[in-house]
Structure 1
Amino acid sequence: MDQAKIHENTFSNDPKERLDALRQLKNNFNFLPRKKEAWNDIIRLTIDSNKSVQNQAMIAIDSVFRFVPEKIQCWADIVALLENKEFELRSSAAKSLYYAFQYTPKEENVWYDLSRLAKNKEKEVRKNAAYSLISAFRYAPNKKEAWDILHKLSTDVESEVRFSIAHEIGTVFRHIPDKEQALEDLFKLAGDEESTVRGATARSLIIAFRHLSENQQKDVWDPLLTLIEEESISVREEAIGSVLSEIEYLPEDYKKQAWKSLHKLRDSNIAVQITFLNFIPSAFQYLPDKQQAWQDLIILIENKNINVEYNAVHFLGSVFQHVPDKLQAFDDITQLTKNDDLNIRKHASSSIGYVFEHITEAEKNWEFLHELSKSNDIYIRSGTAKSIGIAYPHLSGRNKKQALKDIIRLATDNESIVRSEAASSLVYFVSNRSENCDKKAWDVLHKLTDDSDSSVRSSVAITISIAIEDIHEKKQAWNDLIKLSTDENISLKNKATFSLQYAVPHVPDKKQAVEDLIKLIEEKDGNVRANTVNALCRIVPHLNENNRSRVFKIIHSLIENNDWYVLPDIARSLGSVFQYIPEKEEAYKDLLRLKESDNIYVKVPATRSLGSIFIFKASQAKSEEEYKKELESAINYFEEAVKVSIPFNPAQFCLPFYRSFYTIIFKEQKEATEELEEYLEDAKSAIEGSENKKLLIEAVQNLANALKEVQNAENINLHAMKGELNFYREYCEYAAELMRDAEEAAPFATATIRKGLPILDRKLKSLLEEIQEKAKTACQESQGTDTEEIACAVSQKVQKWEISNPAGMAEYIEDISYSLKGKVQSHPENEYLLRKIELMKNETDLTKKFQLLSYIIGEIPTIKVVSEETVREGFNKIRLDIAAVDEKIEKINISLKPGIREELIVSVGPKIGGVGFEHTITIPLQEISYSELKEDLNKIMGVDIDRLSKLPKRLVEKIKGYLIKTGRIDILKKLT
């Protein structure tokens, strides 16, 4: 780069050459050796005689300010532009100050300038000064002086300035020293003559509400209700949206009052109704009168405005779980399937599936859904195909068989929209592990890869990518995805290749998968290549070192060739897989290069990836000093990444967490507490507007809880700090995936990511470590004893466990529960331990499950174990005993025992002294469960029975099986 030539061209008489010089200065500023000279050239060109040159120079200021070495002097240069005679230049300079302020928030000279600029005669300058003051208020060296400036601006003659205060002041309310005055200002702004100011005030009032005393909340509430019921439509929209977005945090009395006002608006302006509906899904569970809210939704569906009715019917399925009268709600949905509007019919029929998880009479309702699947209306059949999939996990065995038949029929429907929806629903069936359902469903799904309609084939690609982990025929599934990735239809091709990244970790032949992906890299379509790059990066952790190097060489060559289609994806992915790449130094240099790209969609993810790399490096540090240094470097990169505005920047999510983590580890307690309070607000602000906001808020809360645990820990040594940081790095990477653009991270991607979102629980982490250590000890102690086989098998199994997602962790417990129950003999000495195993299996709290397992593993060396020989002899004896039994009994007494789990009590023989029976057995209902169990039990309760054969046949077989399994031949003899 010839900086001397660029400098010379800034003096050219040809404006085109001056513009070209500006472009080179802006795009290459960080590479230039004489940055001060380059900055002066840009400042000089801001007062160029040519307007285009002026405008481009002001744009360049915003781009390069973060790279200038002497920021205070450069800040002063921008301030000087405010004295220029030209209004447009002064206005641009005011905006530039706002951007520049992000890089100098703690400089006292800058705060002094802002205080002066807040009194500037130009409204644009005052407005941007207000935004700047608020954005960094917590860093103000003198918060009282900063507040005095904002207070004065709240009464500015220009409504745009008052709007900036009204809209933003709530975000820093907790830091304001004079909260009483701040409230007074907000009350005045709530009555402002300009509707935009009044509407903006609602946002600040509701955000501030959480930080107020009870008396202050009472004072704020009436102005808020007034804004909700305002005549101005725009004010009502803003107020309703603000209140619903924060209703979760309102005390119960205020929720009721808010709902009373909101309920009045159900039949008002259409724009207000749509605002109401946009916030209802996330707010519904916190509403005080959910039944009324449901009825309001039903009424709004009858609205003749297509936007209102579409939004209302669209949310029925998502809020159904919170409705008190679910049978009535179900009836409402069934009525909507007969609506004249085809969109309402379709969405109503697709909402029915959500019913089955939440109502006790789901079995009876299955017939209705079954009949809908045979409707002549293609939109109802399409919606029903979706509902059958959602309902499937909650159906009985008999109805599951019919559901499979129905979904197979719909998957071969004449209409493509029906087949497409059925293909999507097959995801629930190919994961099933009973009655050969998964094989039948897979065969249908596999055939649909050759469907004549591309939308159906697209649905197939998505379904395979979600379900491949559970599909038996993984190799065929992968081959189907590769085939769809080379389809002639470009839209399908893009979706299929995008899905590869979620399927590739589960492919059995990783080496072949790499070969398949390498071929796709040669495709002409840029999006296909970009998607393939993502898949290649996703497979890296699952490869051996040679293949990892091979993949990295391919990625490196794409960077060298400057393939701009794939560079954003490489920049984003390299940070996630850096730890697995053998050529770490080369990967690091590649990211440094990408960080300097002119394209912000390459620059920002590359900068974030560099932050991730240094988080990893900190987790590998050998000293506390090195740990601190690497963590600081990571935070610096994240800070740099958030300073460039792109939609849903993942760095905005992780930066507040790492910054808070650093403060808690290395700074004073008081400062750490303040930082922790900031974290939730900053992180939630970063995810505003994301399609996956609900999941991200859950992730934010989990990270906040983790920060509190770290803060409360008495001593954290280097080993612990490294472990914590690596753990949280993985969590942030998952959350970052959820920040991706909604169109790109389609629903199937979100489902896959959500499934993999790790548990963030330090207590659970330490419990797992304790279990693994205990299991090792139990294996060692049991050497040469009857318990050696089980103790060492359990130890081998739990050593492979790691903190993952809730479903995966629960599955660990489920698997080991059955292993233990199969090995632990039904013996008086084992009775207590067996109860613990059963309790562990049924416990819903994951932490408690692991606490129980920790106890159980410690007891393994003391248990009585059933040897294979004993089991074989026992079954032979059972067969002989059953064949020889002809003794009858006078009476069988059967009763149900309530409790944390229902149990069947079977007592036989005469009472002894009138207080008991000769033989009694307690059977947990879940051990003999089948779909018609309760129906059969109702038939026999209170009925005298003298032999087992008089019980319903299904119940007889279940009881026999249980008694044989538990070795209770004494009872079986009496029952036969």
Structure 2
Amino acid sequence: MVDQEKIHNQCLSNDPKERMHALEKLKNFFSFMPDKQQAWNDLHRLTSDEDSYVRDSAVKALDFAFTQVPDKQQAWNDLIRLTNDEKDKQQAWNDLLKLINNKDHDVRSSAVRTLDSAFSDIPDKQQAWNDLLRLINNKDHDVRSSASRALDFAFIQVPDKQQAWNDLFRLTNDEDWLVRSSAAEALGSTFSQVPDKQQAWSDMHRLINDENIFVRISATLALESAFSQVTDKQQALNNVLRLTNNKDHEVRSSVAYALGSAFSYFSDKQQVRNDLLKLTNDQNSSVRSYSNHSLGRISVFMASKAETEESYKKELEKAIKYFETAAKEASCDNPAQFCLPFYRSFYSIIFKRQDAKEEVNKYLEEAKAVIENSKGKKQLFETVQYLAEALKEVQNIGNLDLSGMKDELSFYRKYCDYAAELMSCTDEKAPFATEILRKAASSST
């Protein structure tokens, strides 16, 4: 019978030999400990021991104990906190890699979820990058998925950008669609640091014709992320606009969304509007919805740049009409349904001099109904509350001049765009598509 109380007391001893003895007992008999959570706490405490031998031995024992501790989330948090200590960061990363290869699926799942956050704390980032590349070939789908999604975050921090770029280029030809999709996404989000931008742009276009739909979507949205960094924007615009005729409605939907997000970068803004107007007549409901939503966003942007109050009012009215049309299309978590109540209430307070309290209550009721079943409900509710307060503030300011109206609209526009990030569809059968859409929305203008 294991005397856990005695072992616990030895862990608190002033004698490092006793603490080391307790550590050996914890490591060898962890499976037999009556209170495994207490045993884990004792083991974790020893990872901060003043004696380096005790500390290092405790860290190395964590991966074995992790598989048996009842509260794995708390245990994982404990492990990650080790990366706050400079001397243990590399060891913690090594232990993370061990856990990723653990035979227990729950252990692997807990470990891979923190790959990107752990990467920042690793001293040897080139080695960590190489570790990521190895994990991309792991037989476990969750491991490959998480390692692939960490590419863009890791690329920014890896010292040898040329080598990392060569690695990304190679991954765009990987046989696994998940890897190709992540590589495309990484090229878009890290485009400003890619040495050969022309090659990267060509690769993203090549992947738009990939056999896998998620790769095509990811590549399309990557073009939007990279657009601001392209030298020949007119040629880039022409390339993107050609995609509005793509045979896949998912690509056309992504292009419609991307055109709204990157609108401010285009020199020929009327051409963009015209192409989006064509897409509002698309046979696919999703394409029509995203096209009208983007036109609404564009009108809000144009209102924020208006030179007369008449133009400001006209563009805001256009935006509301586009959002109304987009909101009528049947699609899960339609972002236009979130934008519409706010801009409608904003317009009523500014131009109809409606009582703010009445409009705020109306807005809250409509917005809460829209987000009720959304996956990002908590964050969306916080945004709703903030925008509700914003409506009150607009009323309190009184009569705004054109400059004031433009400033207010520019500021609140960002919050509605943030909501679009959280309102992407959350089909559980396609979680990777959800991640692609969510990340794309975060680069809104």
Give the CA deviation at 1:720: 2.2
Return the match for 1:668 from 353, 360, 365: 353
**Which residue pairs with 1:597 in the alignment?**
282
Aligned to 2:201: 514
Aligned equivalent of 2:210? 523
Corresponding residue for residue 6 of structure 2: none
What do residues 412-464 of structure 1 show as CA deviations (whole Å, max 9, x unaligned)?
6578886675454332232127xx24444333223333445554332211112
Change (3 A) 1:505 1:703: farther
**1:385 and 1:421 in contact (8 A); partners too:** no
Q: Does 1:428 align with 2:112?
A: no
Find the partner of 2:269 among 565, 584, 602.
Answer: 584
Compute the RMSD of aligned alpha carbons.
4.0
Which one-letter code corresponds to 1:654 in the other structure? C
Give 1:522 deviation, angstroms: 3.0
- Equivalent-residue separation in structure 2 for 1:598 and 1:711 (angstroms): 42
Listed as ranges, the matches of 1:312-331 within 5 Å are none
Distance 2:243 2:125 in 1: 40
Amino acid at match of 1:572: Y
> Is 2:420 the partner of 1:733?
no
Three-state SS of the structure 1 residue aligned to 2:150 is: helix
Match of 1:400 among 89, 111, 116: 89
Quote the Cα distance in structure 2 between the aligned partners of 1:662 and 1:637.
Answer: 14
What is the alpha-carbon distance in structure 1 between the residues aligned to residue 413 and residue 135 of structure 2? 40
The whole-number CA distance in structure 2 between the counterparts of 1:474 and 1:592 is 40
| 2:174 corresponding residue in structure 1 | 487
Structure 1 residues 429 and 412, CA gap change in structure 2 (3 angstroms):
same
Matched, 1:443 2:160: no
Instruction: Please list every run of 5 or more consecutive structure 2 residues that lacks an aligned counterpart in the other structure.
Output: 1-29, 50-54
- In structure 1, which of residues 675, 682, 697 is the aligned counterpart of residue 381 of structure 2? 697
Deviations 1:918-971 (A, max 9, x none): xxxxxxxxxxxxxxxxxxxxxxxxxxxxxxxxxxxxxxxxxxxxxxxxxxxxxx
1:203 matched to which residue of 2?
Answer: none
Deviation at 1:486, TM superposition (A): 2.8
- 3-state SS, counterpart of residue 684 of structure 1: helix
Q: Which amino acid aligns with 1:396?
A: D
Contact conserved, 1:494 with 1:528, CA < 8 A, in 2? yes
Kindly state the Cα deviation for residue 404 of structure 1 after the two structures are TM-superposed. 2.7
Distance in structure 2 (CA, Å) of the matches to 1:689 and 1:583: 39
Q: Equivalent of 1:459, from 131, 137, 146? A: 146
State which of 234, 238, 242 in structure 2 corresponds to 1:553: 238
Is the 2:99–2:107 Cα contact (8 Å) retained in structure 1? Answer: yes
Contact preservation (8 Å) 1:619, 1:726: yes
Does the 8 Å CA contact 2:230/2:236 hold for their aligned counterparts? no
Of 351, 372, 381, which residue of structure 2 is paired with 1:688? 372
The unaligned stretches of length 5 or more in structure 1 are: 1-336, 340-344, 759-803, 805-976
Deviations 1:869-905 (A, max 9, x none): xxxxxxxxxxxxxxxxxxxxxxxxxxxxxxxxxxxxx
Instruction: Give the Å deviation of 1:603.
Output: 0.8
Shift of 1:484: 3.3
Deviates further, 696-705 or 642-651:
696-705
Contact 1:631 1:662 in 2 (8 A): yes
Larger relative contact order, structure 1 or 2 (CA cutoff 8 Å, min sep 6): 2
Q: What's the CA shift for 1:696?
A: 1.2
| Change beyond 3 A, Cα 1:706–1:542 | farther
TM superposition shift of 1:617: 1.1
SS in 2 for 1:487: coil
Secondary structure of 2:61's aligned partner: helix
Distance 1:379 1:431, change over 3 A: same
String of CA shifts for 1:589-613, please: whole Å, max 9, x gaps: 1111110112111111111111111
Offset, 1:675: 0.9
Q: CA deviation at 1:533?
A: 0.7
Q: Which amino acid aligns with 2:145?
A: S
Describe how 1:160-171 pairs up with structure 2 within 5 A: none
Offset, 1:571: 1.7
Letter of the 2:422 partner, please give it: L
8 Å Cα contact 1:389/1:429 also seen in 2: no
1:862-877 mapped onto 2 (5 Å cutoff): none
Q: CA deviation at 1:648?
A: 0.3
Q: Output aligned runs, 1:797-836, within 5 Å.
A: none
* CA 659–531 in structure 1, closer or farther in 2 if over 3 Å, else same: same
Q: Is the 8 A contact 1:373 1:385 kept in 2?
A: no
Partner SS state of residue 691, structure 1: coil
Q: Which residue matches 2:221? A: 534
For the residue of structure 2 that corresponds to 1:374, the secondary structure is: helix
Aligned pairs for 1:735-814 within 5 A: 735-743=419-427
Q: CA deviation at 1:386?
A: 5.3
Match of 2:81 in 1: 391
1:649 matched to 2:338? The reply is: no
Alignment-mate amino acid for residue 115 of structure 2? L
Q: Take 2:91 and 2:251, find their aligned partners in 1: how far apart are those partners? A: 46
CA distance in 2, matches of 1:426, 1:604: 35
Q: In structure 1, what is the Cα distance between the partners aligned to 2:64 and 2:225?
A: 42
Q: The residue matched to 1:716 in structure 2 has which SS?
A: coil
For 1:137-196, what per-residue CA distance to the aligned partner results, in whole angstroms no more than 9, with x for missing partners? Answer: xxxxxxxxxxxxxxxxxxxxxxxxxxxxxxxxxxxxxxxxxxxxxxxxxxxxxxxxxxxx
Equivalents in 1 of 2:219, 2:136: separation in Å?
A: 20
Partner of 2:395: 711
Question: 1:689 corresponds to which letter in structure 2?
Answer: N
Identity of aligned residues (%): 38
Separation of aligned partners in 2, 1:570 and 1:386: 39
> Aligned equivalents of 2:162 and 2:438: distance in 1?
22
1:636 is aligned to 2:321: yes
Distance 1:426 1:392, change over 3 A: farther
The yes-or-no answer on 1:678 pairing with 2:362 is yes
State the alpha-carbon separation in 2 of the partners of residues 612 and 457 from structure 1.
Answer: 36
CA contact (8 A) 2:364 2:384 kept: yes
Pair 675,479 (structure 1): closer, same or farther in 2 beyond 3 Å: farther
Aligned residue number for residue 256 of structure 2 = 571
TM normalised by structure 1 equals 0.37
Cα drift, residue 625 of structure 1? 0.7
Deviation at 1:361, TM superposition (A): 11
The equivalent of 1:929 in structure 2 is none
For 1:730, the aligned partner's letter is K
Q: In the alignment, is the contact (CA less than 8 A) between 1:454 and 1:489 conserved in 2?
A: no
The aligned residue for residue 152 of structure 1 is none
The structural deviation recorded for 1:745 is 6.4
- Does residue 410 (structure 1) correspond to residue 95 (structure 2)? The answer is no
Question: For the residues of structure 1 that align with 2:243 and 2:75, how far apart are their CA atoms?
Answer: 43
Change (3 A) 1:407 1:640: same
Rate the CA distance shift 1:594–1:750 in 2: closer, same or farther, 3 A: closer
- 611 and 389 in structure 1: CA distance in 2 versus 1, 3 angstrom threshold: farther
- Aligned counterpart, 1:212: none
Contact in 1 for aligned 2:424/2:438 (Cα 8 Å): no
Q: Is the 8 A contact 2:47 2:59 kept in 1?
A: no
Rounded Cα–Cα distance in structure 1 between residues aligned with 2:438 and 2:71: 24
Shift of 1:655: 1.0
Structure 2 vs 1, CA of residues 376 and 647 (structure 1 numbering), >3 Å: closer, same or farther?
A: closer
Q: Is the 8 A contact 1:571 1:605 kept in 2?
A: yes
How many Å separate the matches in 1 of 2:164 and 2:70? Answer: 30
Contact conserved, 1:614 with 1:631, CA < 8 A, in 2? Answer: yes
Code of the residue aligned with 2:91 in structure 1: it is Q
Q: For 1:732 and 1:641, how far apart are their aligned partners in 2?
A: 15
Structure-2 residue corresponding to 1:658: 343
In 1, are the aligned partners of 2:422 and 2:438 still within 8 Å (CA)?
Answer: no
Change in CA separation of 1:745 and 1:612 when aligned onto 2, cut-off 3 Å: farther
